[in-house]
A = this chain, B = another copy of it.
Amino acid sequence: MPAAPLTSLDRLAIHTFTLKPWDLERCCAALSAAGIGGITVWRQHLEPYGTAQAAAIIRAHGLRVPALCRGGFFPHHDHAGRCSAIDDNLRTIDDAAAIGADMVVLVCGAVPGMPLDQARGQIRDGIAACLDHARSCGVRLAIEPLHPMYAGDRSAINTMTQARQICEDIRDPLLGIAVDVYHVWWDDRLADEIRLAGEQGTLFGFHVCDWRLETRDLLNDRGLMGEGCIDIRGIRALMEDAGFQGFNEVEIFSLWRWQQDQDAYLAEIIDAYRNHT
């Protein structure tokens, strides 16, 4: 079924990293003034405030917080490194609870030279070690599969299938998946995996941006919706057909967009959300 056009901004959330030049306060004020429903907070934007003040600012602007970004980076060559990563994730879960975030997004990690299947085992064990604390805090954990071009050092979880396998290994209602169109649009198993995740109750998050054909930078040249080749509306239809009712989160890293006037950019984002999402 085709997805209905998005007119309301209630289910729109914007990642603070999308508007990186702005601090959290400026970001909350602009989003709230535009009638946008949610904000996904990155730790870099949280740190200058601390969680209590950040929570007060977000609350004062009436914004909901689908997610805190980001936890993860579980694999390490040594035991101490893996323990330290788990500790860091426990603190991230605390921070998420403190600002009222529904979930922590996990960029799972990879270590150059470590076989990817070994890294996936360490990721599974690391997530499992965090779940009791997540439960006590009422925070969900969302595995975000990352594009295979990040398999070298950012994530050994590069497909929805791999994310599902970890969810099935652990089987905890607090563990699910964040689907980012940038990372998964190319995968011929995408439709099946979204449907399966819907059945398993693991569709936690949905991130949108676009894939620019002339990508100039592997990390920071994502396109605004409509600027690239991803069938974003088609993927949103898959998500909604599978029962997803959460936020549509705009997550764009762009060296070029960050140089632009951010108020004008925000207006473009809203336009692209209505016309190309």
Contacts and interface: CB of A to CB of B under 8 A. Distances in A.
Interface of A: 112-113, 115-117, 147-149, 151-153, 158-159, 162, 185-188, 211, 213, 215, 218, 228-229, 231
A188 B162 contact: yes
Given A153-B229, A218-B215, A218-B218, A116 B148 contact: no
Contact of A186 (B112, B116, B231): B116
Contact of A148 (B152, B153, B187, B231): B187
Nearest to A191: B117
Contact of A116 (B112, B188, B215): B188
Contacts of A149: 147-149, 215
A234 to B, nearest CB: 8
A143 to B, nearest CB: 15
5 contacts: A115-B231, A116-B188, A147-B148, A151-B185, A152-B213
Listed residue (A148, A211, A213, A218) with the most chain B CB atoms within 10 angstroms of its CB: A148
Given A116-B188, A148-B187, A149-B215, 12 more contacts: A112-B229, A115-B231, A117-B188, A148-B148, A148-B149, A149-B149, A152-B211, A152-B213, A152-B228, A152-B229, A158-B186, A159-B188
A76 to B, nearest CB: 15
Contacts of A185: 151
A139 B228 CA distance: 37
Given A153-B229, A218-B218, A213 B148 contact: no
Nearest to A218: B215
Contacts of A112: 213, 229
Contacts of A228: 152
A117 B190 CA distance: 12
A215 B221 CA distance: 13
Contacts of A151: 185-186
Contacts of A113: 229
A185 B215 CA distance: 21
A73 to B, nearest CB: 15
